[in-house]
């Protein structure tokens, strides 16, 4: 299933084709493919080159681990994510290694790393659904995540599946057209809320 973004200005094909599926096929994602995704994440930019990201990974081939990670997801996400062959939880280190001070950019840098991962996945024919609906405290306890670290998001990864496997509500969302705010909604000049001329 393809949901190409309709854009007024040209963007890279990978960004046009990327979207967040909930229906996943049962096909195994090979170890080498997962390594490719994580190596893409590894090369993201970060403040002071801190690389404050961590990834917890569970695959369907490790049924117990997959079930364990599911418990870290909100119930609404568990319903469909249980079919994804790969689950991940992203973790941010909240302090700088070189001085111990708070790193307020850690979540931003996690986002950059996941952005790399998602584009690499798209290039390899995989879908990634990012989830804000996780239980950080559950993840921290189950995985012994250290102090000064926080679970940030969940990822469901796999090859695209049949939308008919979803509930009526989710199937409708799966097939809905992708939408985004226009540039004028978030690109400003001179003062906040005043759209920049380049947005038209």
Q: What is the pLDDT of residue 177?
A: 84
Task: Flag whether 126 is in a domain.
Answer: yes
Residue 157 backbone zone (phi > 0: left; psi -120 to 50: alpha; other: beta): beta
For the chain, how many structural domains are there in total?
1
Q: What is the pLDDT of residue 6?
A: 81
Task: Flag whether 28 is in a domain.
Answer: yes
- Please give the angle made by the CA atoms of 174, 177 and 182, to the nearest 5 degrees: 135
Task: Flag whether 192 is in a domain.
Answer: no
CATH code for position 112: 3.40.109.10
Asked whether 103 and 47 are in contact (CB, 8 A), the reply is yes
Task: Flag whether 190 is in a domain.
Answer: no
Burial class (CB in 10 A: 0-12, 13-18, 19+), 144: exposed
Q: Please give the chain's pLDDT, 200 residues, in tens.
A: 677 888 888 889 999 999 899 999 999 999 999 999 999 999 999 999 999 999 999 999 999 999 999 999 999 999 999 999 999 999 999 999 999 999 999 999 999 999 999 999 999 999 999 999 999 999 999 999 999 999 999 999 999 998 888 888 888 888 888 889 999 999 999 999 999 999 98
Q: What is the pLDDT of residue 1?
A: 66
Task: Flag whether 135 is in a domain.
Answer: yes
Q: What is the pLDDT of residue 104?
A: 97
Task: Flag whether 50 is in a domain.
Answer: yes
Q: What is the pLDDT of residue 168?
A: 83
Q: What is the pLDDT of residue 84?
A: 97
Q: What is the pLDDT of residue 176?
A: 83
Which of 49, 63, 118 has its CA nearest to residue 90? 118
Start-end of H helices in the chain: 13-17, 31-42, 63-70, 75-81, 106-123, 136-142, 168-175
- DSSP summary character for residue 61: T
């Amino acid at each position: 299933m393809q949901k190409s973004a309709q854009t007024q200005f040209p963007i890279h094909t990978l960004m046009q084709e990327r979207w967040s599926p909930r229906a996943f096929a049962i096909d195994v994602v090979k170890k080498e493919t997962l390594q490719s995704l994580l190596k893409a994440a590894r090369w993201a930019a970060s403040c002071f080159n801190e690389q404050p990201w961590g990834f917890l990974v569970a695959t369907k081939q490790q049924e117990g681990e997959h079930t364990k990670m599911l418990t870290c997801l909100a119930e609404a996400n568990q319903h469909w994510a249980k079919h994804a062959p790969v689950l991940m939880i992203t973790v941010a280190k909240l302090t700088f290694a070189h001085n111990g001070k708070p790193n307020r950019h850690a979540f931003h840098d996690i986002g950059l790393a996941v952005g790399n991962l998602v584009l690499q996945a798209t290039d390899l024919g995989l879908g990634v659904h990012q989830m804000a609906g996780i239980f950080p405290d559950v993840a921290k306890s189950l995985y012994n995540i250290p102090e000064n670290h926080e679970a940030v998001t969940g990822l469901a990864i796999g090859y695209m599946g049949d939308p008919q496997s979803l509930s009526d509500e989710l199937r409708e969302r799966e097939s809905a057209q992708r939408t985004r705010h226009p540039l004028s909604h978030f690109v400003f000049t001179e003062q906040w809320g005043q759209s920049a001329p380049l947005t038209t």
